[in-house]
Chain A
């Protein structure tokens, strides 16, 4: 029954949302590259907007403020490329202006997807914001000079890695994840003071290993889904939780005064305070080997 009603639902949605035409639309694939050398810019706010396709983010080459390469169907999308500078601080907006996809042309969309590659400076402090729709994203941010990171995803598969320490300090790192598979590895290298994670539906893995320089607060709100928290052994961890109908596997944490703490909590130089809220799901805590 479910199987037969799902296509019907799509059909109804298609009939309501889409224009009547069924004919395949012409494509106009274009590639745009944009890059800037560091020059006199002291800091940059970079906003990346990307609705459909494959997104990769990596550190930029030496002396580059940013590098970007966008391959897109100009018949479907309007590119976004804005640049302003004020008092030595630059503001960049790059990507696709509109997320709406013409599902009439669904088959061709998936036969050939667009791509966006963005490279972040290793030297100039960058506040990076990524707004993604239905995107397969691979963010390799190890070594990038980040003072802030915001990732908002819709229905996407996202992997974030910090395989090298962030030379800057991030005041706040924010992940807002819709219906998605989300994996963030070696977040200890991100060098953040506060992490806010909001998850909707999906599977989430937050790996907090890495080189911790200072203590941090982590706030996690999880909806319907599975959350795996991978903790480092060399920092103190304290978890407070509020859950409703959510299974909780505390791993090796001990319950003390209503909170779950690691055995080295009192003696650790770096302490992670994790505030966990979850509804209808499963939370699993593991310590890295």
Chain B
């Protein structure tokens, strides 16, 4: 962004200079001819070899230009400017000119070149590009830039133009000389912001500014502006050559077939109509606001694309609305509350959390009742392994969880195993609640055997699996309810989070143990003795094997 600001500052300097120049023009209003340069060229050297015919010319202002035909190519000042037929009409005529006696004299050069131009044919065919460019360049040399402007002013019927000293110390012509300073200032103000956005070498443009136009104007074919041209408002018909940049500010430029702009063409807030012509640099346009599309010549979007874009916008709007809704909820949640607001908020959270825990407890209890009622032996077998050999159960359960997805992938890849996939998924689905209930059973039995004083009032004389499952579920779910209840205290968020984390870990550990025990006992079908167990000392194992309960 800083870079852009710098450009803006540079452009402001240029604009300031333009304004100052305009004011100066009002003060020093004078005929254009008064500021015109006397530009009489003279030949410095002529070089004629078998493959090269070159002329070096010094202009009145000291500039040196080198024009040469070499190997089928016209070069002007070292740059390729066109092609010609080697040994053809153009080369012959050019060599004849360079062989003219006395060409190195000032007057002789001008008259010889003028004669050459007058007698030159309409270059065509292979000689066309080089011949046309060569004629144009020679014509330019014979005329000074300011004289061209004066000619152009006459041609356009403009009464007067004025010449002042530009920022680069070079003459700056303002046409027409009479100007509406108020309108010019308004234009400058309107464009001040816009120009800063364009990546222009404003200092160079400022120094080389040769012609400032602020009304309808015309530059005819064959006329040349030796520097930059700025069009502030008004219409310019350009059919000649500009040896620099053209800046159109709120104006309209008609680029005619013979027009040549050797630098950039920059348009801000105006229009350019291309009737042909050549712009050797960049054509750059900047538009502000909604007026851009009206005069912008691009391939239009198809109806299909527009429909797709509309669809995307509709989806984006739906997403936006959803996001807004959540943002509002988020903001509401974060909004500061009064004391009663905070209390109400906390009570709501606490009641909601406890209610959810109770619902989970009731649902799992109902499932536990069902399992105990229909498959008590299996549940007890699994729970016994969880309780008596938890380490092994946990290890096997963990391995089982890690392998469950790869096993599924193996079943998918082996096409013949596809039939097993539904059974595998069903087994996984059934094992999840069964593992949790078995872990709850084991936890309940563990608590009963611990004979905790605080729980003695809930301790039956003859416990059974129903009791173990219910008490185990209560033990596993209670921490979540306690954490929810802590909302009532407020300000204990970290502690509450710690309880929820610990309860979640405990739930996963218990489930994993239950899952491992399911695997070890083949879903409760096969009792498993803990490692290092003394079979002879425990009758319950034999009882379990024969179908009895260990409880």
Contact A110–B320 (Cβ < 8 Å): yes
Q: Could you say which of B197, B301, B317 contacts A30, with CB atoms under 8 Å apart?
A: B197
Contact B284–A34 (Cβ < 8 Å): yes
Q: Could you say which of A7, A29, A33, A81 contacts B325, with CB atoms under 8 Å apart?
A: A7
Residues of B within 8 A of A69 (CB): 296, 298
Contact B320–A107 (Cβ < 8 Å): yes
Contact B330–A11 (Cβ < 8 Å): yes
B287 shortest CB reach to chain A, Å: 4
Q: Scoring B residues 159 to 203 as 1 if CB is less than 8 Å from chain A, else 0, what string do you get?
A: 000000000000000000000000000000000000001010000
A91 shortest CB reach to chain B, Å: 14
Residue of A nearest to B317 (CB): A110
Q: Scoring A residues 12 to 55 as 1 if CB is less than 8 Å from chain B, else 0, what string do you get?
A: 00110000001000000111111111011000000000000010
Residue of A nearest to B413 (CB): A245
B64 on the A face (CB < 8 A): no
B542 on the A face (CB < 8 A): no
Residue of A nearest to B194 (CB): A30
Contact A33–B281 (Cβ < 8 Å): no
- With A7-B323, A32-B285 given, name 18 new contacts (CB 8 A): A7-B322, A11-B323, A14-B327, A30-B286, A31-B292, A31-B296, A33-B283, A37-B280, A54-B305, A56-B301, A58-B299, A67-B298, A74-B197, A106-B319, A110-B313, A111-B317, A136-B305, A157-B308
A-B contact pairs, 6 of them (CB 8 A): A29-B288, A37-B283, A83-B282, A117-B299, A136-B312, A140-B299
Residue of B nearest to A15 (CB): B330
Residue of A nearest to B291 (CB): A31
Residues of A within 8 A of B298 (CB): 56, 67, 69, 117
Contact B412–A245 (Cβ < 8 Å): yes
A238 on the B face (CB < 8 A): no
Contact B279–A37 (Cβ < 8 Å): yes
Contacting residues of chain B (180-231) with chain A, CB-CB under 8 angstroms: 197, 199
Contact (A113, B197) CB under 8 Å given A34-B283, A37-B278: no
B195 shortest CB reach to chain A, Å: 12
Residues of A within 8 A of B319 (CB): 106
Contact B286–A32 (Cβ < 8 Å): yes
Residues of B within 8 A of A136 (CB): 305, 308-309, 312
Residues of B within 8 A of A37 (CB): 278-280, 283
Residues of B within 8 A of A228 (CB): none
B289 on the A face (CB < 8 A): yes
Contacting residues of chain B (311-362) with chain A, CB-CB under 8 angstroms: 312-313, 316-317, 319-320, 322-327, 330-331
Residues of A within 8 A of B308 (CB): 136, 157
Contacting residues of chain A (76-135) with chain B, CB-CB under 8 angstroms: 78, 81, 83, 106-107, 110-111, 113, 117, 119
A267 shortest CB reach to chain B, Å: 36
Q: Considering the chains assembled together, what is the distance between the CA atoms of A31 and B294 in angstroms?
A: 12
Contact B320–A35 (Cβ < 8 Å): no
Residues of A within 8 A of B305 (CB): 54, 56, 136, 138
A10 on the B face (CB < 8 A): yes
Q: Could you say which of A35, A36, A40, A111 contacts B80, with CB atoms under 8 Å apart?
A: A40
A71 on the B face (CB < 8 A): yes
B27 on the A face (CB < 8 A): no
Residue of B nearest to A38 (CB): B278
Residues of B within 8 A of A35 (CB): 282-283
A8 on the B face (CB < 8 A): yes
Closest 10 CB pairs of A and B: A110-B316, A31-B292, A33-B285, A7-B326, A31-B287, A35-B283, A117-B298, A107-B320, A58-B299, A11-B326
Contact B289–A29 (Cβ < 8 Å): yes
Q: Considering the chains assembled together, what is the distance between the CA atoms of A30 and B199 in angstroms?
A: 14
Residues of A within 8 A of B279 (CB): 36-37
Contact A119–B282 (Cβ < 8 Å): no
Q: Considering the chains assembled together, what is the distance between the CA atoms of A117 and B197 in angstroms?
A: 20
Q: Considering the chains assembled together, what is the distance between the CA atoms of A177 and B312 in angstroms?
A: 19
Q: Considering the chains assembled together, what is the distance between the CA atoms of A71 and B288 in angstroms?
A: 10
Contact B288–A30 (Cβ < 8 Å): yes
B98 shortest CB reach to chain A, Å: 25
Residue among B197, B289, B317, B326 facing the most chain A CB atoms (10 A cut-off): B326
Residues of B within 8 A of A31 (CB): 285-288, 292, 296
Residues of B within 8 A of A107 (CB): 317, 320, 324
Contacting residues of chain B (91-141) with chain A, CB-CB under 8 angstroms: none
Residues of B within 8 A of A58 (CB): 299
Q: Could you say which of A10, A39, A54, A74 contacts B323, with CB atoms under 8 Å apart?
A: A10
Residues of B within 8 A of A8 (CB): 326
Q: Considering the chains assembled together, what is the distance between the CA atoms of A163 and B200 in angstroms?
A: 38
Contact B199–A81 (Cβ < 8 Å): yes
Residues of A within 8 A of B309 (CB): 54, 113, 136
Contact B1–A33 (Cβ < 8 Å): no
Q: Considering the chains assembled together, what is the distance between the CA atoms of A33 and B265 in angstroms?
A: 11
A103 shortest CB reach to chain B, Å: 8
B317 shortest CB reach to chain A, Å: 6
Residues of A within 8 A of B292 (CB): 31, 71
B63 shortest CB reach to chain A, Å: 22
B302 on the A face (CB < 8 A): yes
Contact (A106, B323) CB under 8 Å given A31-B286, A31-B296, A245-B412: yes
Residue of B nearest to A140 (CB): B299
B85 shortest CB reach to chain A, Å: 20
B181 shortest CB reach to chain A, Å: 29
Q: Considering the chains assembled together, what is the distance between the CA atoms of A8 and B319 in angstroms?
A: 12
Residues of A within 8 A of B285 (CB): 31-34
Q: Scoring B residues 528 to 550 as 1 if CB is less than 8 Å from chain A, else 0, what string do you get?
A: 00000000000000000000000
Residues of A within 8 A of B330 (CB): 11, 15
Residues of B within 8 A of A78 (CB): 1, 4
Residue of B nearest to A32 (CB): B286
Q: Could you say which of B281, B287, B301 contacts A54, with CB atoms under 8 Å apart?
A: B301
Q: Considering the chains assembled together, what is the distance between the CA atoms of A32 and B267 in angstroms?
A: 10
A24 shortest CB reach to chain B, Å: 12
Contact B302–A138 (Cβ < 8 Å): yes
Contact (A111, B313) CB under 8 Å given A10-B326, A33-B285, A81-B199: yes
Contacting residues of chain B (352-396) with chain A, CB-CB under 8 angstroms: none
Residue among A22, A78, A83, A106 facing the most chain B CB atoms (10 A cut-off): A106
